[in-house]
Amino acid sequence: MVLRKVYTLVFVRKENQILLGYKKRGFGMNKWNGFGGKVEPNESILDAAIRELNEECGLTVETTDLKNLAHLEFTFTGEPVMMDCRVFSTNIFNGTPIETEEMLPRWFQIDQLPFDNMWPDDRIWFPYMFKNKLFYGKFNFNGVDTILNYKIRELESM
């Protein structure tokens, strides 16, 4: 695995709710997920996380308020590029979520998440996020719906 592309994924929290977006186009279309995308050349990961959140649902957050909670690696059968995904969360934000070209945002109670319409790895690692753990996960997919194998472990620090 030589090729690696870095992606961001941001979760905004409010009381016992989490903001997800229904992806309207592209990779992960028709799934609920956090907000994020590719880190651009010469852009920091944090800057990309903030930019993608704003582009996809209109919210504004500060660099210092984003907590990096996970590092996830996704590989796909027959696909040479590893998705290197950096996951962040915050409960400090400005604005009201708006629908964009890419995402339809909606608040969910954390005990009523639409896991059947999310990436299948989410039901494996969301519990770590809700327990405020730092963690690393690696998921090997066949297509976009089947996890062939995975490993996940808590980290002391990111």
Give the nearer residue to ligand 6U4 in terms of CB position, either 26 or 41: 26
66 binds, among Na ion, ligand 6U4, none (CB under 5 to 8 A by kind): none
Nearest to 33 by CA among 85, 75, 77, 96: 85
27 binds, among Na ion, ligand 6U4, none (CB under 5 to 8 A by kind): ligand 6U4
Contacting residues toward Na ion, per CB under 5 A: 37, 52
* Six token digits for residue 76: 């796909």
> Is residue 28 within the footprint of ligand 6U4 (CB under 6 A)?
yes
97 binds, among Na ion, ligand 6U4, none (CB under 5 to 8 A by kind): none
* 89/53 Cα distance (integer angstroms): 11
> Is residue 26 within the footprint of ligand 6U4 (CB under 6 A)?
yes
Total residues binding ligand 6U4 (CB under 6 A): 17
The one among 50, 66, 70, 83 contacting ligand 6U4 by CB under 6 A? 83
Q: Where does residue 91 fall: left (phi above 0), alpha (psi -120 to 50 degrees), or beta otherwise?
A: alpha
115 binds, among Na ion, ligand 6U4, none (CB under 5 to 8 A by kind): none
The one among 11, 12, 32, 36 contacting ligand 6U4 by CB under 6 A? 36
- Residue 20: partners with Cβ closer than 8 Å, 6 or more residues away: 32, 33, 34, 105, 106, 108, 113, 114, 118
Nearest to 103 by CA among 39, 45, 36: 36
Site residues for ligand 6U4 per CB under 6 A:
7-9, 26-28, 33, 36-38, 52, 74, 83, 85, 119, 121-122
